[in-house]
Structure 1
Amino acid sequence: MKPSINYLLSLSSLLLIFIFSCKNHKPTPDLSSLDLLRGELLLCGDGQFGDVSFSESCSYETRETFNLAISLLHSFEYIEAEKAFVQVIDKDPECAMGYWGVAMSIYHGLWAPPEQSVLEKGVKLLAVAEKLPKSEKAEQYLEAIGAFYRDWETVDNQTRKERYAQKMEELYKENEGDTEIAVFYALALRASALPTDKTYSVQKEAGKILERLFVKEPNHPGIAHYIIHSYDYPELAELGLSTARRYAEIAPNSAHAQHMPSHIFTRLGLWEESIKTNINSASSAVCYAESIEPGAHWDEEVHAMGYLVYAYLQTGNNTMAKEQYNYLKSFKKVFPLNFKIAYTAAAIPARIAVENKKWDEAAVIELPQLMDLDWKKYPWQRSLLNFAKALGSVHINNLNAAEENLKLLRNSEKELLTINDVYKANQVAIQIKSIEAWMLLKKGKSEEAIALMTIACEMESMTSKHPVTPGEIVPADELLADMLLEMDRPGEALNYYELNLERRPNRFNGIYGAAVAAKRSGEKEKAKFYFETLLNQTKFSNSDRPELAEAKSFLLQNI
């Protein structure tokens, strides 16, 4: 029997449907090798991270999660940002911008160069996104961040950051009026700035872009955040002060948003404001850590503590500074273990000893053995302790111990040069020259000591501080002023103390040194001004520092 016409037509229709569906079926991307972070979003407070509206999110169902992910990314809440972007991917595996979001969440352009595992993950993410359908703008976003991840084996980190910034500039110029493109371009621009460029031309350009945007979108977390990063320099900090005071209100549930204003407060010597915002930041970080693993500590808490200790010391509050150090020593687990943790763990004990000029204590500081830190990975951070020990040893006339620590500093410099970390190697080189200068002084070679210390000052003036640090253990200008004062040259010392205070306003030892130098130079009114400034700066700290007793005594005698 022959098949009926209706049967053949039905069969043909089914065959066409099958062929068409096979032709247009897109296999779900293989995500097994991407090591994506998944899990419930852990957000303290009521989830306020500012307002964003990102035009290139994918399906309507994922838009709210995507915008939250962007908000988290803008406040450097990287872990939760990645989890949020992965939630988008899990709901819509063909959302190319979801993979871009993860690639951005693991790219920390303002911090240390990423490890190899991060770069490999970025390349894999881009490879998946490349095969997916996407808009022209999404294609450009992916191409831009791809300029950073690709060729990482053969092209250095700085060059790749500059490539990314160049691609974002092209995207920015083609999409006038797109806020998110402008914001990410400004961040890429700021991240590409060389720390040796003291014109700050790149940072100023980024700041201008962001300031224009902030007028239109005053509740955008990224705009406020990146304005602060653009102006996080003594010469520019005043430009970021109003924004710094606003950012914490925009993203009240972000530990980093609570901390970030203190970068500007520190540059301007506004210690009480710095203390307040870092207490809030540490509290928010504790909340987050407790939600992940009770008893553990998040690196944002430790970072805030580093700035807290610095601010406490500038108000003469040794009690609170030491309380933070004792608290840090009680930590059993911190996540993630990274360069920020190592920096703070080394800097806090060094600062407490050196700022108080407790040279016998400084001479015997040891690297904190806590939190399973592998100090071999952190030569720059180790150098902070070796510098403090060397300085302490010089001041108690133990030049053999000073020489031993000087050798360790030179080894750290070599390590950093070997891995082509020129910036940090230069920071250690400044420490080396400073110690060599003080050793010359102790050997009676005064003019050679001043000449070498002056070189250290010039080196320090030509480079910017790293974003992780609130400031040097001791600024070179201040060390040179101390040296001149010790040589009974108070007039010259006063000049350097005042230069130091221009660059680092309201440093306790800078103010005190200027007061003493002015007094010894016979400049009574200037001495009164600096001693009064010191007392006013420490009035809330109930400090027992002997410098304050000296200030009070001088002012009573010179009413």
Structure 2
Amino acid sequence: MKKVIRLSAPLLLISLLLISSCKKKQSAPNLASLDLKRGELLLCGNGEFGEVSFSESCSYETRGTFNLAISLLHSFEYIESEKAFVEVIDKDPTCAMAYWGVAMSIYHGLWAPPEQSVLEKGIKLLSVAKELPKSKKAQQYLDAIGAFYKDWETIDNQTRKQRYAQKMKLMYEAYPDDSEVAIFYALALRASALPSDKTYAIQRDAGKILEQLFVKEPNHPGIAHYIIHSYDYPELAELGLNTARRYADIAPNSAHAQHMPSHIFTRLGLWKESINTNLNSAESAICYAESIAPGAHWDEEVHAMGYLVYAYLQTSDNSSAIAQFNYLKSFEKIFPPNFKIAYTAAAIPSRIAVENKNWKEAAKIELPEIPELEWQEFPWQKALLHFSRALGNIHINELETAQEELNLLRSFEKELMTLNDSYKANQVAIQIKTIEAWIQLKEGNNEEALLLMTSAADMESKTSKHPVTPGEILPADELLGDMLLALNKPSEAMEVYELNLEKRPNRFNGLYGAAASAKQLGDIKKAKYYFEILLNQTKDINSDRKEILEAKEFLKQHTI
């Protein structure tokens, strides 16, 4: 178990301070309304979070704390980064960049849109910073993040993210030799990318900026972290592999830094590496949770568990996947109760059932009771489970119940559209079309079923996955392949399964589907190829999955 380093935070100074960068006296601002996080800095292990040197910090005395805060920020250790920036404020209340740091710590551009309380806090922070002395570059940093917080009541989240990226671009052009400006610009650029843009032009641009910096600063946590986020797509993942294998060593005491490499490992089907890095991430998260709220579980641990279960299932390790689910159900307290926890809590039981084609289990799975989690706030996450229930009921010929589940999915889609969350609404729309397709198949309408399922696969191919998930509950391509096999169309099924494996390498069901298609076609060579891959990636697990037994029997019969 990792140990926690506790760094004491000083009390707020209300006297006048001399700001070294400005050489003039300035009254300490009123901070009472800012709701700033204070307390000991709780850093697991030996506190290694990478190497950062930020030029726009304020007094010399606070530089070390400011750089630590930036390091924490770059690994999305948001709670501790805010506390570190507040420690700078408490030592130097007129340090404008420390308020910028807090505003950045509560802005999670790659995650869910911030709540109203966060946006209001950001406006207050920037209002305080506006009255303080600062350098020209500090003012530009504040103006840039201000472009996100400003007019939040009337301008949507995506537009404000793009405004922030545009402001950072101007800084990047004005300070071409400032690494931190370039790093924050690359992150802002990546955060502004639309999930529907399958050219990944913005992500590629961000990646190129970061790759050039990584050569000069190989131990910088933000550079490595944001390269992974830039290339977290099947088409780009290979570009991020070397960095993924470095990031965990750069910031070894960050739970998020331990987890992030698994985004690339998952894209490339490197299941053992994904399992190992997420086990390390969960351990770091447990260490942190024990220090901040003994007996509670942090969302970073739950997030790592979601990726762990996905990887375990691809290696046929059902016992480890089920153990993770049982562990999750034992939690009595979590923090914070957010979209990441909701996603994982709904996805884990869904995946365990449908990945194993255990349709009876899928038909009756329930949302786990998670402390303090209000499920009505998460329609997208609930849809995962009801999608799985619908599939289960279809396969056990309970079509009336499947229709009820389909109606629930439609209500979730409508709710998400009302919330103007078009991305998640589209994800549910893909599920709806998939369930409609399989109901049509069960009712004997084969052509209509294939049209609907092909449409669902096409819709899914045009949208990128959300960073919170390792992948779809079941990819539409795989389900289309399953339907084609069921309709005795092995040639078309093979084409679909192989396309699926290009985008999702080494998925258990994708490999089996390709092998089964080849077997049905009489293509012994190709069937052996896919069965051998399947057996190789499951060789360390004592599994009773029938697909593995079939693979072993087939290879035994066709060994020369």
Fold match by TM threshold 0.5: yes
SS in 2 for 1:42: strand
SS in 2 for 1:400: helix
Aligned pairs (5 A) from 1:414-453: 414-453=414-453
Within 1, Cα distance between the matches of 2:96 and 2:322? Answer: 49
Alpha-carbon shift at residue 27 of structure 1 (Å): 2.5
The corresponding residue for 1:330 is 330
The corresponding residue for 1:541 is 541
Alpha-carbon shift at residue 372 of structure 1 (Å): 2.4
Q: Deviations over 1:203-258 (max 9, x none)?
A: 00000000000000000000000000000000000000000000000000000000
Q: Aligned in 2, Cα 1:25/1:56: closer, same or farther, shift over 3 Å?
A: closer
Structure 2 runs not aligned, ≥5 long: 1-23
2:80 counterpart letter in structure 1:
E
The corresponding residue for 1:19 is none
1:523 counterpart letter in structure 2:
D
Q: Does 1:556 align with 2:544?
A: no
The corresponding residue for 1:45 is 45
Alpha-carbon shift at residue 403 of structure 1 (Å): 0.5
The corresponding residue for 1:518 is 518
Aligned pairs (5 A) from 1:1-400: 26-400=26-400
TM-score by structure 2 length? 0.95
The corresponding residue for 2:410 is 410
Name the larger-Rg structure: 1
Within 2, Cα distance between the matches of 1:541 and 1:339? Answer: 32
Within 2, Cα distance between the matches of 1:221 and 1:502? Answer: 30
Q: Deviations over 1:263-293 (max 9, x none)?
A: 0000000000000000000000000000112
SS in 2 for 1:43: strand
Residues 27 and 94, structure 2, Cα contact 8 Å, conserved in 1: no
Within 2, Cα distance between the matches of 1:551 and 1:25? Answer: 77
Residues 207 and 230, structure 2, Cα contact 8 Å, conserved in 1: yes
Q: Deviations over 1:61-94 (max 9, x none)?
A: 0000000000000000000000000000000000
Aligned pairs (5 A) from 1:500-511: 500-511=500-511
1:497 counterpart letter in structure 2:
Y
1:484 counterpart letter in structure 2:
L
Within 1, Cα distance between the matches of 2:274 and 2:414? Answer: 35
Paired positions, count: 536
Within 2, Cα distance between the matches of 1:556 and 1:395? Answer: 31
Within 2, Cα distance between the matches of 1:25 and 1:206? Answer: 40
Q: Does 1:472 align with 2:478?
A: no
Within 1, Cα distance between the matches of 2:412 and 2:369? Answer: 19
Structure 1: 4+ residue segments shifted above 3 A: none
SS in 2 for 1:158: helix
Residues 274 and 311, structure 2, Cα contact 8 Å, conserved in 1: yes
1:308 counterpart letter in structure 2:
L
Q: Aligned in 2, Cα 1:515/1:42: closer, same or farther, shift over 3 Å?
A: same
Residues 334 and 372, structure 2, Cα contact 8 Å, conserved in 1: no
Within 1, Cα distance between the matches of 2:434 and 2:25? Answer: 68
Range with greater deviation from structure 2 (367-376 or 457-466)? 367-376
Q: Deviations over 1:351-408 (max 9, x none)?
A: 0000000000000011111222101100000000010000000000101110001011
SS in 2 for 1:48: coil
1:164 counterpart letter in structure 2:
Y
| C-alpha RMSD over aligned residues | 0.6
SS in 1 for 2:41: coil
Q: Deviations over 1:116-164 (max 9, x none)?
A: 0000000000000000000000000000000000100000000000000
Range with greater deviation from structure 2 (518-527 or 535-544)? 535-544
SS in 1 for 2:26: coil
Within 1, Cα distance between the matches of 2:205 and 2:405? Answer: 42
Alpha-carbon shift at residue 25 of structure 1 (Å): 5.6
Within 1, Cα distance between the matches of 2:56 and 2:394? Answer: 60
Q: Deviations over 1:447-503 (max 9, x none)?
A: 010001011011000000000000000000000000011111111111111111011
Structure 1 runs not aligned, ≥5 long: 1-23
Within 1, Cα distance between the matches of 2:104 and 2:83? Answer: 12
Within 1, Cα distance between the matches of 2:83 and 2:326? Answer: 34
Alpha-carbon shift at residue 26 of structure 1 (Å): 3.2
Range with greater deviation from structure 2 (205-214 or 544-553)? 544-553
Within 2, Cα distance between the matches of 1:206 and 1:425? Answer: 27
The corresponding residue for 2:486 is 486
2:308 counterpart letter in structure 1:
L
Range with greater deviation from structure 2 (243-252 or 484-493)? 484-493
Alpha-carbon shift at residue 438 of structure 1 (Å): 0.3
Residues 69 and 81, structure 2, Cα contact 8 Å, conserved in 1: yes
Within 2, Cα distance between the matches of 1:373 and 1:50? Answer: 34
1:163 counterpart letter in structure 2:
R
Residues 267 and 505, structure 2, Cα contact 8 Å, conserved in 1: yes
Within 1, Cα distance between the matches of 2:294 and 2:55? Answer: 38
SS in 1 for 2:368: coil
Within 1, Cα distance between the matches of 2:541 and 2:48? Answer: 33
TM-score by structure 1 length? 0.95
Within 1, Cα distance between the matches of 2:541 and 2:187? Answer: 37
1:59 counterpart letter in structure 2:
S
Range with greater deviation from structure 2 (360-369 or 340-349)? 360-369
